[in-house]
Amino acid sequence: MSFTSFVWEIGNISNKSSRKRHRLRRGQAHITPEASSSSSPGSPGSLTVQIEQRQWANLPPELLLDIIQRVEQREQCWPGRRDVVTCASVCRSWREITKDIVKTPELCGFLTFPISLKQPGPRDTPIQCFIRRERATSTFRLYMGLSPALSGELSKLLLAAKRVRRATGTDFVISLVGDDFSRSSNKFVGKLRSNFLGTKFNIFDSQPSRDSTVCSSCESCRKTHPGKVAPRVTTSNYNTAKISYELNILRTRGPRRMQCIMNSIPVSAIEGGTAPTPTAFTNCLDEHSSPLLDSAGRRPQVGSTSRSMQNVPLVLKNKAPRWHEQLQCWCLNFKGRVTVASVKNFQLVAAVESSENVTITEQENVILQFGKIGKDIFTMDYCYPLSAFQAFAICLSSFDTKPVCE
């Protein structure tokens, strides 16, 4: 049964249920307010929409829960996953139940809502994506899927970035859509900024990355005196990660060497701990913004001492390749996901010290891998504790020109 016919069938059930309730209440007196003479011409249409939405909202909670659970279990990938989003857009009651049913990517392995792009990926199986580079427009688009050849036109656009060159460096503006890169738009999610040499990068998020205490130090949340107009809220003031590439001017150190300091992710996240998981797009000026939670619905605890594992940021480094004597080149095992040799190819693993109790298996676990499979086509696979936004921003740093690193 298609989703459309499924909805029609449920609509008939809703109509029968509402008529039955009306017959049971026929002995009661109800007063319906008269339409105001000064109402707008579109008021009858809006009243009809309200009645239709009320019919959907009046479904029994048990039936509604069963409906959304069946849709969520049936549609495991895009574009069929769009039906789950449709359920959340019917009315408020549908949206609340859908949000309770749909789990975070860490638990279910799927990307459903836009906020899923800011939540950590699954721990076991990585989420597989690909990036398409458009040289003419200096844009980069992140899609869900194995490759363009396998996904075709059904590929789901996750994020898009536009490269903007400045006098002192380069900015990659990241958006939820591919045609709006304005920093004042609600589609803006963050940016990546480089220095002049392209050796150091900073990832800026459009919302706090740890907890509400970040807002106290945010430049966009300065207190204003009574009677003064509050300054315009500036976006992307939250520095969530730093990326650095080692200098290799003489080209004697082999492939690129990079290091990522994830300020928003504690190192305990790879030791069985949890990484911050936002539940909604928030603004530090929004008094009703929801706090950041972990995958279990708990607010992450921040230690009181500077040496607490919760305060030590996770550091990632590129996995060292091995030299292949027959091919006379540096090689990495990408498990078939990368097919073209490129200086941009890399795998990131956790860089831990001997004092930290991290097993060898966790140290060798590839958290993010990126590589070329064709002209202007690259694969990106990421897993916990990185989010799609963080992984995409790290991969974007590989596209910037680095004359002193290669």
Residue 385 near residue 265, CB atoms below 8 Å: yes
167 and 249 belong to one structural domain: yes
With 60 as the cut, is the pLDDT of residue 121 above it? yes
Residue 223 placed within a domain? no
Q: pTM for the whole thing?
A: 0.77
SS3 213: helix
* Tokens (6 digits) for 201: 């990068």
Pick the closest to residue 175 from 188, 186, 163 (CA basis): 188
Comparing 68-77, 117-126, 136-145, 232-241, the range with the smallest average pLDDT is: 232-241
Query: Residue 222: its pLDDT value, please?
Result: 41
Domain that residue 62 falls in: 1-11+50-102
Distance CA 68, CA 86 (A): 10
Same domain assignment for residues 144 and 98: no
Are 339 and 392 in the same domain? yes
Identify whether residues 4 and 134 lie together within a single domain.
no
Residue recorded with tokens 């899923």: 116
- Please tell me whether residues 133 and 60 are part of one structural domain: no
The per-residue pLDDT for range 236-284, each reduced to its tens digit, is 478 999 999 988 665 556 678 899 999 999 988 888 888 989 888 875 4
**Helix boundaries (H) for 43-202:** 43-57, 61-74, 82-88, 92-101, 105-108, 148-151
Q: Say how many residues make up the chain.
A: 406
More confident of the two residues 396 and 270: 396
| Residue 293 DSSP class | B
Report how many domains make up the chain.
2
Could you report the per-residue pLDDT of 63-103, keeping only the tens digit for each?
A: 888 988 888 888 777 777 888 888 888 888 888 888 888 99
**What is the chain's mean pLDDT, rounded?**
76
The CATH number for 323's domain is 3.20.90.10
Considering the domain architecture, whether residues 3 and 144 belong to the same structural domain is answered as no
Peptide bond between residue 313 and the one before it cis (omega within 30 degrees of 0): no
Query: Do 274 and 177 lie in a common domain?
Result: yes
Least reliable range by pLDDT among 155-164, 218-227, 351-360, 370-379: 218-227
CB-count exposure of residue 269 (10 Å: 0-12, 13-18, 19+): buried
The span from the first CA to the last CA of the chain, in angstroms, equals 56
User: Identity (one letter) of the amino acid at 346?
Assistant: F
